[in-house]
Amino acid sequence: MVNPLDPKSLNDCAENQSDSISRLNFERWSKKGAVDAYRKWTDLYAPEQVIFDKLRDNLRGWDVLDIGVGGGRTTHHLHDRCGSYIGIDYSFEMVKQVRSRFKNCDLRQEDARNLSKFKTNSFDLVIFSFNGIDYVGHEDRVSIFFEIQRVLKPGGHFVFSSHNRDFSGVAQFGWRSYLSTDSVRIFAKKVLNLIPSILDHYRLKDYETQEDEYALINDDDSCFITYYISPTAQISQLERLGFGKTEAYSLDGSLCHQHVPRDDDWMIYYVTQKID
């Protein structure tokens, strides 16, 4: 596995497709535009609110690992409400800016694909919020699930979200996002950026793939390769990797009935557990 935090491994290892996708997205999460955008957000999404409310009574005594903290949106809601809190992100720029906001918090630059700095069975709750897990290739996603399972205590919870492949408007790169914006300033910015993003999109085409279980797509005007999976496939994937019972939540915070999302559920939240 190529470790983007270790320049030696970038030179030494032959890169496979999953490595390339992870490296490409890693570079993009370190850009100023991404860091600036995520710094501003503090509100929880409805499913996060519902899930945190359900866990609230236990949270006080729990050791929590928050992966992919980005701008610290979830740090804001968790760091002083649990037994212990560690936030990690593999983008040093993200970690730097979140450290400047939460001075007494344990925030580290670490890659979810390699959690060897953390002991086996050490966390009651691991979080990877707002689709952070969707920015690695498939093999790396599997490594992340195994690492999370290892560091969770038996019975520990894992909360994360992922892009929904069953969403009726699964985004493909195109004109949709240009036409749908209602801010003149954002529209003008996008028009200016049109040629570079079309060129970028053609460069990223080689990384796109549609598999039975999942798809990797350069969606809308984003500069990332993003993992999409349906709730049914995500739940089977977790079962196959040894996790226990999983619940899927719609964007409005309701439980997905028989794992069937609502039409506008472009992302789904999942709560799963390490088997006791």
**Interface positions with ligand SAM (CB under 6 A):** 29, 38, 41, 67-71, 73-74, 88-91, 94, 111-113, 129-132, 135-136
Could you tell me the smallest distance in angstroms from the CB atom of residue 169 to ligand SAM?
19
Could you tell me the smallest distance in angstroms from the CB atom of residue 181 to ligand SAM?
20
Is-contact 97 30, C-beta < 8 A? no
Could you tell me the smallest distance in angstroms from the CB atom of residue 67 to ligand SAM?
6
Could you tell me the smallest distance in angstroms from the CB atom of residue 206 to ligand SAM?
20
User: Residue 51 or residue 69: which is nearer to ligand SAM going by CB?
Assistant: 69
User: Residue 142 or residue 244: which is nearer to ligand SAM going by CB?
Assistant: 142
User: Residue 5 or residue 255: which is nearer to ligand SAM going by CB?
Assistant: 5
Residue 92 is which amino acid? F
User: Residue 76 or residue 187: which is nearer to ligand SAM going by CB?
Assistant: 76
Could you tell me the smallest distance in angstroms from the CB atom of residue 29 to ligand SAM?
3
The residue at minimum Cβ distance from ligand SAM is 70
| Residue showing tokens 């496979």 | 16
Closest CA to 244 of 147, 125, 156: 156
User: Residue 100 or residue 202: which is nearer to ligand SAM going by CB?
Assistant: 100
Could you tell me the smallest distance in angstroms from the CB atom of residue 127 to ligand SAM?
8
Angstrom distance (rounded) from CA 192 to CA 138: 33
User: Residue 31 or residue 54: which is nearer to ligand SAM going by CB?
Assistant: 31
Structure tokens at 226: 């993003």
